[in-house]
Structure 1
């Protein structure tokens, strides 16, 4: 089996498992979240992204225990039961939802978890937050939610975003050599340009790194950052500095077709006709084809393309029948 075939098989397995374990109302959000999530995760299927989030949650939890409670206990404590990730249960759904909140905010998972744990530690909570407690409920605790988002805005500011973008590991999916007009690629380029406009620095350094070194932007895409004559001079300076060794051209391995599949590719529950991200996506047709394959596989294995909905309906039918039987039994005894 070739590497490409193996990656496609693994993706199909991951999406079928997601369909078995996670309710559709959460899976249906993955298209919109692909647009907002941190760039490092935009080419990971959501089951893989959730596994990474879970590992980062365990690390953040243990770091807090080590620093604030008991450094010896931190070595043995198990804040998550990873065996839960292979079945439908509240524990796995909660960590999935927590990961989605980080994606909604567009934050790297370690930074999101760092903020959440320290937010609650400063409020002297008796216990560290579980995944379903990371995000305060606006309806149940509006004051806590207001404080959470006010502090988050200060924490996740433009300076911190600039640092995180600077530390982002170069990915071939974002190299202009492999540009395929994917929404994930377009959004990344827009973020780089917008970041420079909001927090401008030395333009020739920006061009030297992002255009010549990492090749994440083209000369044309940066041309509006300065008047034409200034831009041309700046570009010449950057090229001269590149020639003298100030910048190094990143060496990329050409991504396979599967490695260019975006995070929402084939995810069950996404309705392409309603999701904005699908409208002009060049992967729309093969994505829908995979989604249909996932549905067939789910039906073959569970009897339904949406097994959790079927399970809920069967549970409701059982409850209704039980209620009717009880009512009938009471009527036969003459008890009102």
Structure 2
């Protein structure tokens, strides 16, 4: 594939190709929230691009789907597994993208989000595990938010895993927005811990995980608490140094997804100029390839043109059915049960449509679209 080949040859050019690939598949509104989601996502994901986060969500979904599908003999259920997001059809990529956006809006690890959603389906008596587009309905998101809020509060889900991105380690601190956000979350987590346990909690962050330096801790939390933390007995081994090269860029995950609309975080971002330049590069590449930035509209028009051409070809050939309809009729002639199954499925669909039509519309305002998550961050810590 072109995308994978470019990423192997030049990682920086690969990020541009990732953005082009997403713009070719997704609707424009699917990108509107990325700048905000970059500050709401689980801390360890915030250096990842939206494409990388979606691929991580896809891999987590495949992993837990296979685990949940184990039969009574312990064998993993059969299901297509793909190592790269770009290997999926366009419709499935869109599903994974939107489901990942809802997980980011809650600020939770993807595995935890998927497990909670699948457990809800099992508790509801559903025989099949949810597909990606069934992971972000209103009731699923509300259930996941309620379930995981308690895990964050109890500390079962840590602010950062022990094997987190090395850019969060104190020896690699440069003061970029993602690092400052992590330190703010650590400070808030310590302050809302009971006074008796604050020193032990700070010792874990400062001396074991080494996510905050002693100087930063004294500046934020005071000398008394830091002195008490230095006297605490450690229960886990100290993480060794993992310094990064000086040339490693520290850009937020939304880099290149610039928005010019008012009241966004883009205006105060320290790398906004480079972000605008990256966005312009992507626009230029897409214009060279397609001659327009409305790629979805272009593909829809091309699909309509081909469909009408097929209809004209059938009429000229005297065909009354499409090839798909002809194959279906032949299958049902050989197996009458297939026809009965299709008719029952049609009755169920018609019944659902009738129920939806009976539900009165709300008097004031409309309902929230399932494809756009509400930007309410899950309290971490």
TM-score, normalised with respect to structure 2:
0.67
Report the alpha carbon displacement of residue 264 of structure 1 after superposing the two structures with TM: 0.3
Distance 2:13 2:246 in 1: 14
Matched, 1:301 2:289: yes
TM-score, normalised with respect to structure 1:
0.76
Matched, 1:253 2:246: no
Q: For structure 2, which runs of at least 5 residues remain unmatched after alignment?
A: 1-6, 310-381
Matched, 1:281 2:276: no
Report the alpha carbon displacement of residue 223 of structure 1 after superposing the two structures with TM: 4.0
Partner secondary structure for residue 70 of structure 2: helix
Distance 2:182 2:125 in 1: 38
Distance 1:203 1:161 in 2: 14
Does the C-alpha gap of structure 1 residues 87 and 17 become closer, same or farther in structure 2, counting only changes over 3 Å?
A: farther
Does the C-alpha gap of structure 1 residues 87 and 149 become closer, same or farther in structure 2, counting only changes over 3 Å?
A: closer
Distance 1:236 1:84 in 2: 45
Partner secondary structure for residue 10 of structure 2: helix
Distance 2:77 2:160 in 1: 32
Spell out structure 1 runs of 4+ moving beyond 6 A.
Answer: 80-84, 315-319
Question: Is the contact made by 2:99 and 2:132 (CA closer than 8 Å) also made in structure 1?
Answer: yes
Matching residue within 138, 142, 147 for 1:149: 142
Length, aligned pairs only: 300
Q: Deviations over 1:244-281 (max 9, x none)?
A: x97625311315656522210113xx414536322322
Question: Is the contact made by 1:211 and 1:219 (CA closer than 8 Å) also made in structure 2?
Answer: yes
Distance 2:134 2:117 in 1: 9
Distance 1:167 1:316 in 2: 46
Moved more, 287-296 or 148-157: 148-157
The equivalent residue for 2:191 is: 197
Question: Is the contact made by 2:135 and 2:141 (CA closer than 8 Å) also made in structure 1?
Answer: no
Question: Is the contact made by 1:62 and 1:77 (CA closer than 8 Å) also made in structure 2?
Answer: yes
Q: For structure 1, which runs of at least 5 residues remain unmatched after alignment?
A: 139-144, 323-336
Q: Deviations over 1:182-230 (max 9, x none)?
A: 322222111112122233463333333323444422445434776x563
The equivalent residue for 2:376 is: none
Q: Deviations over 1:81-135 (max 9, x none)?
A: 7788357722110111011111111010100001000011001013211111112
RMSD (Å), alpha carbons: 3.5
Matched, 1:230 2:224: yes
Distance 2:288 2:245 in 1: 32
Distance 1:150 1:52 in 2: 22
Partner secondary structure for residue 95 of structure 1: helix
Does the C-alpha gap of structure 1 residues 17 and 199 become closer, same or farther in structure 2, counting only changes over 3 Å?
A: same
Matched, 1:93 2:81: no
